[in-house]
């Protein structure tokens, strides 16, 4: 068992932990980053599957994500636009596929009016929310004790309008059923991206990708840290007191003055804290849970949908794959589609065999793009739910009522332990941008002497 001593031990080599470690090193502090997996990046993972380079986790960058954009620029990475020329496709309640352009789905004039009116109301509510302090809004308790679905259904009895409004923060973001989280949680999700309108605008929220994949961000951040990143070191125990911490991993022990716990909050309870964390943390962490989404890649010998004038962008709250996009790599002759299957649909699919799952998902994609979608040359499902060191996707959110009850305490340090990850962010919440912001914040707190 190796034993080392550093100023700060960082647990988790995702975007949050590696950002914090780099900031601390630049400020002259010594660090050790302990990572459970045999790779860095956490929920950022670019891999080659059957000859196709696929981004299995996070990949898109939106214009509001300043922290991520700064990091990408600082690391010298190049970005490219998501392909978006041509028509989008919407599948309506009767299963009919319709082409459309712009942001509004091709629904009836009355449904369009209802969607517009509620979107305007939501944008006004979101404008009042400070993403770093959603719990401080005067109506936080009221908005946190009604589910997103129930609130929407109080606004209108137009089911198609409700489903289309609901899925922007439901299936597409928190990846939980819309009865399982609150209106306030939904408003936070929208506030973290600037407005509700931003979230529903695919051209905004899914704007750019990094050439070679977004995992290069953590890979390059880790490269700068060199031998201070230790892989295959799941931290099992953290002993802590006001004097410092001892992090005990499988093959090594790190003594430090401070710790940054940069792992998803659903994994905190995998670690034995000695002494145990305070009662508040024990309770609070039980009210945070991961969403669940399957990200599906289908690669074809060419982007055949472009020949039909389709952009590849497709939505339907009635389809198994509720959204899908052209995900062709930069400079690639082959065409790649990416589809998402969320929450209860994902549960149902994992009760089937792999062959049945594939058939059902490709059938759903064919409703958008035609029968050719059923014959990819490469097919892959990212299943983050089965990843021991993540356990879901994209990130964690509070259950009904949890955000106003515990939100103010989420990032509060415990002794020498600070918490950082995308799941705790305000701006950039659930995104890499939020992870970077949280990494910066935890590092700044230590550098500025919060507890040194």
Residues that bind ligand FDA (CB under 6 A): 11-17, 34-37, 42-44, 57-60, 234-235, 262-264, 267, 270-271, 295, 382, 384, 389-390, 393-395, 421-422, 430-433, 435
* Least distance between ligand FDA and beta carbon 159 (Å): 28
Neighbours of 138 (CB within 10 A): 8
Write out the binding residues for substrate: 340
Residue number with CB closer to ligand FDA (226 or 449): 226
Looking at the Cβ atoms of 13 and 365, the one nearer to ligand FDA is 13
CA distance 119 to 431: 23
Cα torsion through 135, 141, 143, 144, rounded to 10: 80
Q: Which two tokens stand for residue 146?
A: 């009604």
The two three-digit tokens of residue 124, written as one number: 């006004």
Q: Which residues participate in the annotated binding site? A: 35-36, 235, 340
In contact, 209 and 80? CB cutoff 8 Å: yes
Looking at beta carbons only, is 166 or 262 nearer to ligand FDA?
262
Q: How far is the CB of 302 from ligand FDA (least distance, A)?
A: 24
Q: Among residues 114 and 421, whose Cβ is nearest to ligand FDA?
A: 421
Determine phi and psi for 125, rounding to 5 degrees.
Answer: -65, -45
Closest contact distance (angstroms) between CB of 360 and ligand FDA is: 19
For residue 370, count CB atoms less than 10 angstroms from its CB and return exposed for 0-12, middle for 13-18, buried for 19 or more: middle
Measured from the CB atom, the residue of 42 and 401 that comes closer to ligand FDA is 42
Task: Report residue 265 CA to chain centroid gap.
Answer: 13
Of 11 and 168, nearer to ligand FDA (C-beta) is 11
- Which is nearer to ligand FDA, 162 or 229 (by Cβ)? 229
- Coil/strand/helix, residue 160: helix
Residue 366: half-sphere exposure toward Cβ, Cα within 13 Å: 12
Spatial CA neighbour of 282 closest among 145, 403, 136, 414: 414
Helices (H) and strands (E) in the chain, counts: 16, 21
Residue with Cβ nearer ligand FDA (270 or 306):
270
Residue placing its CB nearer to ligand FDA in the complex, 14 or 401: 14
Min dist CB 415 to ligand FDA, Å, is: 18
Shortest CB 326 distance to ligand FDA, Å: 14
Q: DSSP label at 276? A: P
363 strand-pairing partners: none
Contacts of 150 (CB under 8 A, 6+ apart): 179
**Binding site for FAD, residues?**
35-36, 235
**DSSP for 62-119?**
-TT-HHHHHHHHHTT--EEEPP--SEEEEE-TTS-EEEE-SSS-S--HHHHHHHHHHH
Smallest distance, ligand FDA to C-beta of residue 249, A? 7
Least Å from the CB of residue 325 to ligand FDA: 10
CA–chain centroid gap for 81, Å, is: 20
Q: Are 46 and 215 in contact (CB under 8 A)?
A: yes
Smallest separation (angstroms) from ligand FDA to the CB of 426: 13
Closest separation in Å from C-beta 150 to ligand FDA: 27
Q: Are 166 and 178 in contact (CB under 8 A)?
A: yes
CB 209 within 8 A of CB 332: no
Token pair, residue 256, equals 């430090």
Cα 270 to chain centroid, rounded: 21
């Amino acid at each position: 068992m190796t034993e080392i001593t550093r100023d700060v031990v960082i647990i988790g080599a995702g975007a949050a932990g590696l950002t914090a470690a780099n900031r601390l090193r630049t400020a002259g502090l010594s660090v050790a980053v302990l990572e459970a997996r045999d790779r860095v990046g956490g929920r950022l993972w670019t891999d080659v599957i059957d000859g196709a380079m696929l981004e299995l986790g996070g990949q898109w960058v939106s214009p509001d994500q300043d922290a991520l954009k700064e990091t990408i620029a600082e690391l010298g990475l190049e970005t490219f636009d998501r392909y978006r020329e041509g028509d989008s496709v919407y599948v309506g309640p009767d299963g009919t596929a319709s082409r459309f352009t712009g942001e509004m789905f091709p629904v009836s004039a009355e449904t369009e009016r209802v969607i517009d009116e509620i979107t305007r109301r939501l944008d006004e509510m979101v404008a009042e929310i400070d993403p770093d302090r959603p719990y401080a809004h005067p109506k936080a308790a009221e908005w946190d004790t009604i589910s997103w679905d129930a609130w929407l259904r109080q606004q209108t009895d137009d089911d198609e309008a409700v489903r289309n409004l609901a899925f922007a923060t439901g299936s597409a973001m928190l990846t939980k059923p819309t009865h399982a989280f609150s209106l306030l949680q939904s408003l936070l999700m929208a506030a973290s991206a600037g407005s509700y309108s931003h979230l529903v605008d695919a051209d905004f929220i899914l704007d750019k990708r990094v050439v070679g994949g977004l995992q290069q961000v953590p890979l390059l951040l880790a490269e700068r840290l060199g031998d201070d990143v230790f892989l295959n070191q799941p931290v099992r125990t953290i002993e802590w007191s006001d004097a410092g911490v001892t992090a005990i991993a499988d093959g090594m022990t790190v003594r430090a003055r401070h710790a940054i716990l940069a792992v998803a909050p659903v994994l905190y309870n995998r670690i034995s804290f000695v002494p145990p964390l305070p009662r508040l943390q024990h309770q609070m962490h039980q009210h945070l849970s991961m969403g669940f989404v399957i990200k599906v890649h289908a690669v074809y010998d060419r982007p055949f949908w472009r020949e039909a004038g389709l952009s590849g962008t497709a939505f339907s709250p009635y389809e198994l794959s509720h959204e899908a996009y052209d995900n062709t790599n930069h400079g690639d002759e082959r065409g790649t589609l990416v589809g998402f299957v969320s929450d209860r649909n994902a549960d149902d699919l994992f009760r089937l065999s792999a062959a049945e799952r594939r058939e059902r998902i490709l059938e759903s994609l064919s409703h958008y793009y035609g029968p050719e979608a059923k014959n990819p040359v490469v097919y892959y499902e990212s299943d983050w739910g089965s990843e021991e060191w993540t356990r879901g996707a994209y990130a964690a959110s509070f259950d009904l009522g949890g955000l106003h009850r515990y939100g103010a305490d989420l990032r509060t340090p415990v002794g020498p332990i600070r918490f950082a990850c995308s799941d705790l962010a305000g701006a950039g919440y659930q995104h890499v941008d939020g992870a970077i912001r949280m990494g910066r914040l935890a590092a700044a707190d230590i550098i500025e002497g919060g507890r040194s």
